[in-house]
């Protein structure tokens, strides 16, 4: 009788998962890490690869239209996206802001070339509220342009024309994930 009770108790423990290796803290941590890797936010452009030169068409020397952008791996709970493009190599105290975009719907996965679609645009260092392509000083060397995409768990409460600083403040505590794409440009 005692042996039978022990076998029933052991079977109940296994059924509850107490003896299951999948329920150990290490297994749970690995599953969480695997889920994060599988849903890692990434951003790309069909106009240039990461670390490569941005085509002239997307610069101040060309048509000055924003490059096409696409992203994958938005985390669950993403309500909106925001995007900032800036140049930390500019000869200014702060990075030169080329684009501020927010209120991009959370179900979006791309922006077409030259389009902000239904999103709101903020104020750039050029003083306007649209994309302003790379235009570094001639002879200043290669500049890097960071297209930073943010997945947000709540809508930002900003009107059109917000600055990068205002956007970053409004997003504080609401960033689920961030991705960046770096392109380069030089004027000789």
Per-residue confidence (pLDDT) for residue 117, from 0 to 100: 83
Domain 40-185 in this protein, CATH class: alpha beta
Per-residue confidence (pLDDT) for residue 58, from 0 to 100: 98
Tokens representing 45?
A: 């452009």
Per-residue confidence (pLDDT) for residue 24, from 0 to 100: 67
Sorted by where each begins, the domain ranges of the chain are 2-35, 40-185
Tokens representing 67?
A: 């490059």
Give the whole-number percent of the chain exceeding pLDDT 90. 77
Please indicate, yes or no, whether the overall pTM of this predicted structure exceeds 0.75.
Answer: yes
pLDDT tens-digit readout, 27-85 = 555 554 445 445 699 999 999 999 999 999 999 999 999 999 999 999 999 999 999 99
What's the whole-number mean pLDDT along residues 156-172? 97
The radius of gyration computed from the CA coordinates of the chain, to the nearest angstrom, equals 23
Rounded to a whole number, what is the largest CA-CA distance in the chain? 90
pLDDT tens-digit readout, 107-125 = 999 999 999 888 999 999 9
Contact 148, 84 (CB under 8 A): yes
What's the whole-number mean pLDDT along residues 158-178? 98
Q: Nearest Cα to 166, choosing from 181, 156, 174?
A: 156
Per-residue confidence (pLDDT) for residue 118, from 0 to 100: 84
Q: Which residues of 71-105 are buried (b: 16+ CB within 10 A; e: fewer)?
A: bebbeeebebbbbbbbbebbeeeebbbbbbbbbbe
Per-residue confidence (pLDDT) for residue 19, from 0 to 100: 44
């Amino acid at each position: 009788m005692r042996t039978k009770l022990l076998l029933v108790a052991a079977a109940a423990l296994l059924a509850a998962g107490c003896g299951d290796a999948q329920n150990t803290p290490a297994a749970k941590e690995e599953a969480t890490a695997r889920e994060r890797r599988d849903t890692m936010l990434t951003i790309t452009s069909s106009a240039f690869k990461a670390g490569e030169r941005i085509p002239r068409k997307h610069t101040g020397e060309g048509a000055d239209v924003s490059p096409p952008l696409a992203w994958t791996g938005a985390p669950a709970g993403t309500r909106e996206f925001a995007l900032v493009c800036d140049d930390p190599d500019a000869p200014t105290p702060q990075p030169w802001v080329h684009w501020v975009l927010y209120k991009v719907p959370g179900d979006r996965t791309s922006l077409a070339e030259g389009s902000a679609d239904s999103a709101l645009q903020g104020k750039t260092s050029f003083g306007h509220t649209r994309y302003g392509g790379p235009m570094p000083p001639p002879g200043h060397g290669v500049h890097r342009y960071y297209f930073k995409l943010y997945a947000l768990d709540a809508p930002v409460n900003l009107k059109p024309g917000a600055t990068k600083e205002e956007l970053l403040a409004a997003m504080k505590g609401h960033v689920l994930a961030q991705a960046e794409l770096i392109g380069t440009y030089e004027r000789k």
